[in-house]
Structure 1
Amino acid sequence: MGRAGEHAGVAVGRVSVEAWIREYARLIAEAAPRLTELDSAVGDADHGANLSRGMAAVVAALDSSSFDDDGALLKKVGMTLVSTVGGASGPLYGTFFLRVSSALGDGFPAAFRAGVDGVAARGKSAVGEKTMLDTLVPAADALEAGKDWPAVVDAASAGRNSTVPLVARKGRASYLGERSAGHLDPGAESSFLLVRAAASALGAND
């Protein structure tokens, strides 16, 4: 990816992109019980199981397919998540990867931002509403500011943690009203794992 400030001009590379997705799948499988526990407090208690199933399908698709470029690979990821993950997670994460896939030519920070904007549009949500955007937007801001990967992860972590006191305004958790406060948002947590996986796979070249 290059050092801070160089991200926009450096190609990510097929190996790095695939490593990002595979690492994310590994982290999601590992965290599935925790994600389900978080979702049991504010949602349907299925976030971990649904996302783990979807990422397992993604890995199977990567194992059985070949791709002309990074964009095609990420498009496959997005389409697989949309078709295999139930609830809101499939459309939201699917949209993220589809938008990233179409904007990679502009550099990874811009592509990541395009993915985040896609999530915001699809979910009709914004920062401060106790959603995955509370994690993803600070990460996108840090990437576009040329921060190194540890700083990007720190920004994502702070955003994730900010969801604990918030009252949910979107999704299933919003049905709880004030009772949703005091709980970490499961989507914010799974989004943090997405950023962690990117730091691990893409930051190796920093």
Structure 2
Amino acid sequence: MAHLPDHLLKGYRNFMTTRYPGERDHYRSLAREGQAPETMLIACCDSRSAPEVIFDSAPGELFVVRNVANLVPPYEPDGEFHSTSASLEFAVQSLKVKNIVVMGHGRCGGIKAALSPSSPLSPGDFIGKWMSLVAPAAESISGNPMMTPIERQTALERISVRYSLTNLRTFPCVQILEQKGRLSLYGAWFDISTGELWAMNNATGDFERPEFD
């Protein structure tokens, strides 16, 4: 009986024979000196939108947090378990990241469920409770008869990014550092079907295609 699925073992074998030899010194430096990423990236746990692949990043460059629909809950120090909030606190206060990027993506299953009243998710279960964070926006969009289902989903995917950025600013450590100019917040949306990346204009809130030199 294998200790891991075969495709994972095969992938690891390829990593050790092709990539690791060229990055051995870098990995050893990271192990010795610790991580010091400048950017925290909050993304969806969808297997099709891996931030490290999209941004072609090397080990140690990104501090990545992934959850259903790339949501950031509001600041609630209530003694409960808060994984995303704990990761945010570590990134900002311990790693002292300079940037936080919230990246949504097209065809997001969590967003689709939030828009569908016939979704099998129970409000009392974990995913249903988690997606209730964007319930008000979902209700307003789902009732718009002038939008197609895909338009409604894309709209909520992008609204959820702006929502998460708003919630980030409820955390005192984020708010203080942003006001001091020591922390910058960004929003992005990735289209799985085309590979296009859209960046949020911080002045207008609109999502625009970034220009490359």
TM-score over 0.5 (shorter chain): no
Q: Which has the higher strand share?
A: 2
Q: TM-score, normalised by structure 2?
A: 0.28
Rg larger in structure: 2
Q: Which has the higher contact order (CA 8 A, sep 6+)?
A: 1
Higher helix share: 1
